[in-house]
Structure 1
Amino acid sequence: MRITHVLQFTEHHRYYTFRGFSLSPLDMRMLSLIYQPMIGTSAISLYQLLYHQVMEGRTGYSAVESHRMLFLALGLEMNERGRKKLLDDTSRLEAVGMLQTSRLAMPDNDDVVYEYELSAPLAPDEFFRNQHLTLLLRDQIGKYSVIALRESFSSKEPDELAEARWHKENISVPFYELFRLNTSNVDDELEQALTEVAPARQPAPQKPLSSETAGLTAGELLMRFPRGAGNRKYVERLRSDADGMAQINYVAYKYNIGAADVCRLLDEDGVFTAQGELLVEELQLRANQLYRQDKKRESDRQRVMAKSQAAARETSDTEDEEEYGVPEELYMEVPKRLEGRCDIHQYNMLMRNEPHTRFLQRYFPGAVPDMIDRTFERIDLNYKLPAAVINVLIHYVIGTNDSQRVTKTFIEAVASNMLLKQVDTFEKAVRYVREQQVIESARGTAGGAVSGSGRGRGRPSGSASRKPAIPIVQEQEQAGGAPSAEKLEELRRLARKLDGK
């Protein structure tokens, strides 16, 4: 809580609590085993005290009370020391996302009321996907305790199920196959009554859409999907398949395609298996073909954008596509052409987390040249290199400002050598590039493509040159300047012999 003056927050000021949820037994375990070691016992006690201000089994607002009640319930002294302790506890709850504090003031009145809006603890899966919260817990209790806690929140799959390879078939009955609603008569009175008794304030969504997905939902796809299509039953299952929707959103984000084009791709044969499982690689291949066709039809199309305006209005939390951090020891220098547009931390985070199509766009003011775009698309689809590794390759090839490197032969030679050396992670790719830079510096060359070659650009490690070593005839100057008489006579004899005289 940000308080600029100590008298702005005293035991005489009033407050109220708002919550739109109810704690489950799993939430209580999260509070005691996860959040309490991070923020302390007193902060958890304050959270539970504020929670119980609203009657159990209900949501909404509490009565307006004086802060004096909080001080007495928590055993705090009503002086500066007690106020600082209460401010510290609220700040800890706000930092981990369990509390939002607001201050309400009337324009013509000095009276101030504080609002405490509580949020539910994260579920175990969401919590351990959150990198900074996991690292904070690790700093408090240690790495091995974190691992043990993570395992304690889930029941293991029975050995009988884990070892067998079952054929899974979804036999659930959809709503409209079982129930028929009478929609012919519209009950205006019921709708008006429900609107009048609805709470004026809705709780904030616990899991907003990620800024790194297209933001599509299964409902949007079903609205555009043909009812008689053969794949509609598979698309309907996506409403309960969060992983499948996350993969579809990532493909749509990567190739910048909308809901209508996604529906057209999902309606094609071969995108789903006979059991209704989504074939992500096939969907990505067809999305790439659509992406290429659009580029041919419209050369100035903005296929890759930094972040859409819709995603900028949303808070990122689902790490269905998780954002990974980059340690400082793995930082790569910002290329000269990108200096002033991002600092070293932003540049390395983009290189680590962005799809290669979006990362490549940052090096060009307009459209990416066709040769470069096709080359990296082929590396992505055929070589199956991870996106972070391809971005490091882009940094190595394009970010060095060496025009001799930007060739199809050189790029594919480096990518092939990465495959041979099993460079399949961001960390391995950074070490690989640094090794090449050390070798290039030692040999005095600006483009030693691969380790151990040194024979030319783009030639993989250990491969020999196909051209034979041909000695070069160099000019030799005679010390006397003009040839001697014997040399001239020998040349004349040779000329007569060649002329046949």
Structure 2
Amino acid sequence: MGNHWKELLPIDHYQVRSNGLMHDFYRKTLTSLYQPLIGAVAYSLYMTLWSQLENEQDWSERATHRSLMNITQLDLKEILLARKKLEGIGLLTTYVKEENGERSYLYQLEVPMSPDNFFNDGALNVYLYNRLGNHQFQQLKRKFTTTTHVEGFTLITAAFNEVYDSLHPSEMRTTESSEISQAMELEEGSAYLKEKTGSSISIAEDFDMEWLEQSLSDLIVPKDALNAEMKDTIKKLVYIYNIEPLQMKQLIESTYVKYDELSAEALRKSTHEWYAVQHQNKLPHLSLRIQPPMYKQQKKKQAETEEEKAMELFESISPYEQLEKMAGGAKPAASDIKIIEGIMFEQNLNPGVVNVLIDYVMRTNDMKMVKAYIEKIAAHWARKNIKTVSEAMALAKSEHRKYQEWSKPATARKKAYSAKNERKDKLPKWMTENKQEPVQDLSDFEQQKRQLEARLKKYSD
């Protein structure tokens, strides 16, 4: 099993608070815009935490994660993974405190982005489009838009100064200025409730921004063009579209030349156009790139056997790279990618588990990716709640005979056991590896033989 227990235990306490006002309208945006990206489990966890808030001013009552497990009917690993999905997409901020050997968490609910910000985000809207397809995406857009036309009407709204008078100090009751100042002050550690706009995804610092700033030509892009907003946009675009630093430099320079400015919207547009040309008008997909750290098992142990080496590989690469590896480095077929992405999100299988599935199915089926067959095994693994690579490998071994029956047509199944020259499947090395028995030294064997003969002779005498 994974090491999720190092991060979270059933006895750990938690409390919930909101970072701003929580409107009922947010339920609609969460359901329609966020749920397709984070899945039903993470969506359910957010709603459950929200339901535990009495109001925006107070924190929820203190409770244990065991009670949260009982409410959601999820195990601790599922709760932790759902929590991280919410954190990654900007819907949850998590704090932890350890005191007297007791660990407590504070879950701060972040408000979702407004429809206007979401559909102009440049990241989440791209992922949503790819998940839903053009037709459903357009339907959703219409649900969150309103008409701005007021044809036939004349503006007659009164101005402030047309309705209200401004009183002079001589007309007002005298009040000490210190009393006014004191009334305006807030207690330390408190803040007024305010409307939050919601934030987009944040990207961890793994891009060499310093190199990019130094490499940009001053003659094309002024240094002050890379403000904080632009840097954040660049990091997002680099991650989403998997752009090399040199290519991003070229995109920034070409964008400035084309639009005579460097804005987030202009750079997003240029990047999208470049990516569309490079990838035949396809958009990047949202997926967990590699096995989540909480489900990794080959972290510190040195891989020695074929099984351990395979486990290490499955945990360190993405399903796309696994398909690429199986194809000898060639670009995977679009149909194969579509099958795998469907499995990851419909069956909610971890990337490392999907890697095992790809390796097993293709090696035992003449390197073919049979959609119905792989989906059937994936559904079986999902029902078994397979989360780690080792669990997937063990199940593939124990159920191999059954899976091979599934791969045969109905007519072939009836003749399977009567066929004399049945093909033997080429199995992955990690399934066929046998632990060799230590070879016994010949001199030890002869010595034991002489001892046994002497003992028998003694008893016969």
TM-score normalised by structure 1 residue count: 0.40
Larger RCO: 1 or 2 (CA < 8 Å, sep 6+): 2
Work out which of the two has the higher radius of gyration on C-alpha atoms and give 1 or 2: 1
TM-score normalised by structure 2 residue count: 0.43
